[in-house]
Amino acid sequence: MYFSNKTVLITGASSGIGEALAYEFAAQNATVLLCARNIGELQRVKANIKSPCEMFVCDVTDYSAVDAMVGAILAQYNTIDVLVNNAGISQRGMAYETDFSVDERIMKVNYFATVYLTKKVMPVMIAQQSGNIIVISSVSGKFGFWQRSSYAASKHALQGYFETLQIELKQFNIHTLLVCPGGVKTNISKNALGKDGKPYGQMDDLQKKGITPESLAVKVVRASARGKRQLLVGRIEVILYYVKKWIPALFFKIVEKVKER
Ligand SMILES: NC(=O)c1ccc[n+]([C@@H]2O[C@H](COP(=O)([O-])OP(=O)(O)OC[C@H]3O[C@@H](n4cnc5c(N)ncnc54)[C@H](OP(=O)(O)O)[C@@H]3O)[C@@H](O)[C@H]2O)c1
């Protein structure tokens, strides 16, 4: 197994895709380090894991807490072999009605916190001349969509940043995988920020009918082990990506008419 005995740090590991990835890496006999804010949910996930596992209660936007977490990991394990940047929040609200604090918060969690943690881990991987970085972007990193202006912006930003890392880090034997899922059956829409910054609180059809986080996790771990650069997973959303790429006018015609937003 490719990730056997590797040290894997996963952000947003208390639920959804991050939780499923934790189980998938554990099944590979990796040492799994879980990071999120909700201590109760982290304990629940940790209790399900039989391979070596530790949890870190850490808000990724709290940079001194991130420094402390990375310091503690290096003191104990001396390495981070795999970094999974998964923590994120979504958005439901028209751009013209959304408070600017919501735009700032989404960029901070999804983009700046991801960059900050990655910058802490890159020197470790460069020194050991190996590593795998995985970033959970979205099809929203490929095209804009109703009510997700800053969410789409944050995921487009990740695309640019990590595509650059793919170019810069290959010389150090560090592989960077960008994952772009469509709808996945998690609580992402419930936890999404509404126009006033309050949780949206509803399970969208896109999530309800989405693929399972477990099936996505299997594909992500396999793609990273194979050194793939990009993984696009989903149903109609993936088709839309190709429509936008090849027939942009048709893409806008379709998306402007979407009722389920
Ligand atoms: N579900 C989808 O349809 C879908 C599609 C494409 C991409 N994605 C991406 O997949 C990733 C995971 O989302 P999910 O679907 O699994 O949703 P989720 O169940 O809501 O999980 C989000 C995770 O991020 C963590 N998180 C949020 N803010 C954080 C912060 N400030 N510090 C540390 N952890 C934080 C949450 O943990 P705590 O609340 O415990 O901190 C939680 O574990 C996100 O980046 C999302 O954009 C999801």
C-beta of 131 in contact with ligand 1 (< 6 A):
no
The pLDDT of residue 1 is: 87
The string of DSSP codes covering 183-238 is -BSSSHHHHSEETTSSB-----HHHHTSB-HHHHHHHHHHHHHTT-SEEEE-SHHH
The pLDDT of residue 42 is: 98
C-beta of 159 in contact with ligand 1 (< 6 A):
no
Residue 259 pLDDT > 90, yes or no?
Answer: no
Q: How far is the CA of 188 from the centre of ligand 1 (A)?
A: 6
C-beta of 188 in contact with ligand 1 (< 6 A):
yes
Average pLDDT over residues 219-226: 98
Q: Which two tokens stand for residue 176?
A: 């960077």
Give which of 111, 186, 185, 207 is closest to 150, Cα–Cα: 111
CA distance 40 to 186: 18
Q: What angle do CA 114, 36, 76 make, to 5 degrees?
A: 85
Three-class secondary structure of residue 87 per DSSP: coil
The pLDDT of residue 261 is: 60
Q: Which two tokens stand for residue 125?
A: 């991987």
Q: What is the pLDDT of residues 142-187, one digit of tens each?
A: 999 999 999 999 999 999 999 999 999 999 999 999 999 999 999 9
Backbone angles phi, psi at 177, to 5 degrees: -110, 125
Annotated active-site residue 63? The verdict is no
The pLDDT of residue 116 is: 99
Q: How far is the CA of 88 from the centre of ligand 1 (A)?
A: 4
Q: What is the pTM of this model?
A: 0.98
The pLDDT of residue 260 is: 62
Per-residue confidence band for 220, with pLDDT thresholds at 50, 70 and 90: very high
- What are the structural domains of the chain? 7-235 (3.40.50.720)
Q: Is the separation of the CB atoms in 231 and 177 below 8 Å?
A: yes
Q: Is the separation of the CB atoms in 183 and 211 below 8 Å?
A: yes
